[in-house]
Structure 1
Amino acid sequence: MWRISLLSVVAAVLLLGGISQAARDVTAPGDVILPVPNDGDWPGNERVPQAIDNQIVTKYLHFKGETDPTGFQVTPSAGATVVTGLSFTTANDAVERDPVKYELSGSNVSIDGPYTLIAKGDIKDFAGATAWTRQTKGTTPIKFANTTAYKHYQLMFTAIRNSLYPASANSMQIAEVELLADVFTATTPDPANGKTGVTMGFLQWKAGDTAKFHDVYLGTDPAALTKVVNPMPTYAMYMYQGTLEPGVTYYWRVDERDVAGTVYPGEVWSFTVQPLTANSPTPLDGDKWIDPAVELTWLPGQQNAATHVVYFDTDKAKVVARDPSVLKATQPAMSFNPGLLAQDTTYYWAVDEVVSTGNVLGEVWSFTTIGPNPGGIKGEYFSNTSLNGLPALTRIDPAVNFNLVGVGPGDPIPIDGWSARWTADLDVTKADPYIFAVNCQDGTKLWIDGKLLVDQWVTPTVTSKYFSLPIYLDKGVHSLVLEYFDSGGDAVEQLYWSTATMAEVIVPAGPLQPPVRARAIYPQDKDVNTPQDIVLAWSVGEKAATHDVYFGEDKAAVEAATPADAAIYKGSQTKDENSWTASALDWNKTYYWRVDEVNAAEAGSPWKSSVWSFTTADFIVVDDFESYTNSSPYRVFQTWIDGWGFSADEFFAADNPGNGSSSTVGHDIWTAGTSYSAIVETSIINPGSGGQSMPFDYNNATNPYFSETDRTWSPAQNWKVNGVTDLVLYFRGNPARFLETASGISMSAAGADIFGATDEFRFAWKRLSGDGSIAIRVDSVQTVNSWTKAGVMIRESLDPLAMQVHMVTGAQQQVVEWMYRAITNDTVTTQFNTTGGTNPLPAWVRITRAGNVFTGEYSANGTTWTKITQADGTASSFTLTMPATVYIGMVVCSHVTNVVASAQFSDIKTTGNVTGAWQVADLGVAHPGNEAAQLYVALQDSSNKLAVVNHPSLEAVLTTTWTQWKIPLSQFTGVNVGSIKKMYIGVGNRAAPAMDGHGSLYIDDIRVMKP
């Protein structure tokens, strides 16, 4: 209905079509970004998100780069783009850390790859003879050919400046990274996509970078748009010459054409024309939790009425009929204050526009005021940092909006060293893509509908804000789980949400409601490869008295079912029965289920859950370890029995004494100070599997000299169905604690460091009396940190903080380090090392004692030895008054607490009076590590016939990667695999137990599969 001359608006935008656009940065703060490698080897306040935070005063610093590539993977929120350039900004200090080489790859599968190489090359500005100015963007263009639009990118820095101009760098740092794309499609529509109340058909957009002409399409059907202008315009704007109907939604698209005629189809956008009636009400139609002191506002219809008639009441019929008793105002203003309203009440209202031709009747809108109990989120607080045990404080919080300085969240929770889990029903009144953000000091995780959106269980030194990817939420109720821990200092945890039309705000009470609806615990929604006999488990709603269970093969039928639908309704469970068993399900089939929480005494009952789905496996799932929790009767050691057994409780009438072996299943979450928050393992899991595996410790150094766990089935399992032939399980061990072979020694250790007041390492030692030496070749080191150390040491005793000297390799940095502690119990050590990159493995290291003089040397060939000498002439030799008899040997320190690294030594030589066999000591802390022993599996049938199959390698338990063990069922000689009663997994010689090693394994995904 509007017509306007193009000349009247063209002047302001005439230049747009003629300006050549530069490539654009497609990254933005809040994009999902992951470090590579993701090893935690960075300062807490210099993490990878700071590489794309648009702040040159921050930086990403990774203690990698000197010998190993470092970088990140990112999913730009801009979507799939054709990146053809890069831009980098230097950080604040240490020029030797600047990256000088890059490799860029792309993926359209996932952020984890696989990746295809796009380009690699030099960062010339940063590699010049003169270092680039600090906190300054490079000016030499980094451009390359690329024609593929990728959703995910991996950028790796393969060399740093230190490799060209050696100094002492042990890390890479970068202030800002830009991925530059030539955007060929039209972007930035005006009117904005989805805009309402549009009054003019003047369309503008940001042209594609190579666009010469623009094809404009418009219509009311997004699948059948009509080209509306010919010839093609050369400016990025168009005035529609037709009539736009009031209240109608229009769709439009711009296809860009370059000079060669190549067409780049654009995205379909929409706008809605301002209607004749009053529109855009505030509160929105159907809104909940509205302040009783609300003021009502709206926008006028397109005829811009001078007078508006307002009807308002709790009786919808009266408002619809325009009953005079509910006429509240006839006024020029486009707002109305109804006065203080009643709580928890639904109101209806309408606004009629008075125009020259009469009244234009508006829609009837509604909203509901917030009640005296607006809801909130259930908070469970723990007096530890691992969500361990039962909560010490449970309450309903109005929101998650904490910034605690010098105080705790409430008695009896301490000021520092606590954790919390919040759960809520998130009531969404408008379907939309939502972005969640958590502003946090310390660690946090966020799930919506069981999907992990934020995973930052870390301890940064500054408050950090973590953004989710957009997640589309339908109108209705969704489950929300938020976890947090505070290790010390200020405690900050704030949960936000936003949409394209809603500014970011703290998620408030109202949308947050105590979780009255059931939430799927196992299986999770959309789980695959589940057992065909499966126990469905769910969380209990806050008001539930009973649970109504629905189960079937049709999603719509399950969603609509009532207790009258006998085929789908599976009955009512008591409040404490929050599980139901589905048996004999088809293989490789999807099923749907729902649980309604019921309490006739409460308003709102029943509370329907979402409809969840899972797909059964095309094999027999013996155990995937996903259903176990910290609560009885679902603890893993209550199914897989170990040597300890378990105590009687309300689910088990009698104690289980265990199986008589020396095994332990599961982590200890009860001992004070434990680092574990779950009985099962949640970090070391079989890739591509679920989120849990079974920890299994063996200790065959004590009677009865074998360790096993066993599971019993009643009735027996039939492993002869559907053509299955092989038992498959996945396992992972730990590297050898200490393993001596004819060719050398393998040894592993964890430990935070060997430096200052920290003495945490594994030490293989003998005794040296008088003068002597030890020399070894360090063949290889599994580096889990840039300062993972392996080498030789002499010390006065096995006590922490004893006098010591050591000469070790820093394999990743290709350095050799000399260090000594001159005084017993001193927390100060003296250390210096060779220049980075000068001592690659293999490398020899040696310490020699001559009286009280200890000398450290290194060699590239084992024959020519060199001391480390500093610029001031100080060399790796020092006088220490140690006892006549000392400890001499090899050390390994991973430099990461509780994370194991291994090293291989050879050409081990000692001189002087060195006595005894190698012995091993864990200094500072207990270090993980395995000793070689026989891994086995045994099956027992219902006739008690039993067969054992041993793994072909005695060193299987030393593997540090997930390994598949596939055992043909035919190898279980004499056992009826059609009637399996019991399965055993063990370490040791089951037939003839004898003293051997101890260690830890992880077991996952036990299956019986087809060939």
Structure 2
Amino acid sequence: MGLIGKLYQNLIRSIGCTVLIGLLSSGVASANESYPVFTPTHGSNVHYNWGAGSPEKGIPNDNFGAIFNQSGFYSKGDYFIQTFADDKVKVSINGNKIIDRWNENYWGTKARAIWLNDKEGQHTIETEYYEKVGDAAIFSDIVPFDSWLAYYYENNNLAGYPTAAKVISPDGTQKNLQEDFGANGPVPGYKKDNFSARYTTATRIPAGEYILRTKADDGVRVYLDGKLVLDRWTNSPLREDATKIQIGDRSGVNAVEKDIHWIDVEYYDAAELGKIDFSILPFEGEVENSWVGEYYPNISLSGNPFIVGGENSTTKFSNLNLDWKSGSPHSSIPSDQFSARFTKKENLEAGLYIFEVNSDDGIRVWVDDELVIDSWVGSNGLPKSGKVSLEGGQHTIKVEYFEGIGDAHIKLNYRKIPSITKADQDVHYNWGYGSPVGFPNDYFMGVFDQSRHFARGDYFV
């Protein structure tokens, strides 16, 4: 029968005629080229790094192929497919080729595709691979949206090819990425220190403003749609880092894909304990009853800010009373020539409110987009104030600040102005420097009801 005929006959027995037809049509073996083909046990995830070796005895180190049957039951929903291969790879779903890296040699490259599965049930999925010369590696995964595909590297700089991989389910209702390694490695038998990881997900994100937050021990970087948006690649005990980003719909894609975005989180552990936590949450939700501070390395409030505080932060602050003296508000911000914006939503009773600030240097205060205090000039900390009448309900307070040179501080207080209400026919009061009983000496209101029967005639008030 010959080598090729025996190979095909064995494949028919092990994986069936349907896969064999795909093999023949794909060019894994033909009359002009032949090589051994590795056919492992059926499985949805394909994670192999053979280095300079081969899959098994009888397979050479170079010039071999592999076929992976990832068919099975898949729920209705959105999936992403990612491969990492040296050399060639292609993936087909129900006979449709969605990844094709077959016509050229690719040394350790990733390929990605989206599968919007609108039908629950059995699906035929196949990954084909070919190794030419040198190192050999193939990773192929079908991952639900919001789950994370993790590649692990036995060094702290993501060098070389991954040596382990797994799919991680999202954590909680916020669908965070979370791995707490403690003093262990990422998978059983893996090294406990000096390793790195790259996490990938595809997710749907409506257009808007978001806070992207990490909590990592040690270094971390985050990419959104291939753009670096957070970079803190340093040794550190567990530390929170966050930034605010504007996310828009993608252009040049089908309408059903315009809100699909790729997120990549890179992480490394140096020594001892290791942990990585990532979240991306709407900005509006983070300012509910908690200040969110945005720090900019300029005095024009421009660029992507560094974020502190927020509803889901480990560094919440409920009062705006910050004194940096001659220092800096953030490790990535200079001690002079910086600016900041602070935002908070709060439920307030109806009434007249007074806002008082003390700052060095410039400051502006808004309540529901109404400018209440405007002192955008250098200042030595003299107090400023403004009043605004509010209806009962939720209101947004926004404070903008800049620091020129020297010391830097900001303090904000606001309160409802108390009101005395009395029914008096005649209003004759002189409190001098005092006040009505139970009221402060300054900033109070009086409402006097002088309603009564008046005879017809002329009056002066």
User: TM-score of the superposition, structure 2-length normalised?
Assistant: 0.29
Which structure has the higher relative contact order (CA within 8 Å, separation 6+)? 2
If you compute each CA radius of gyration, which structure gives the higher value, 1 or 2? Answer: 1
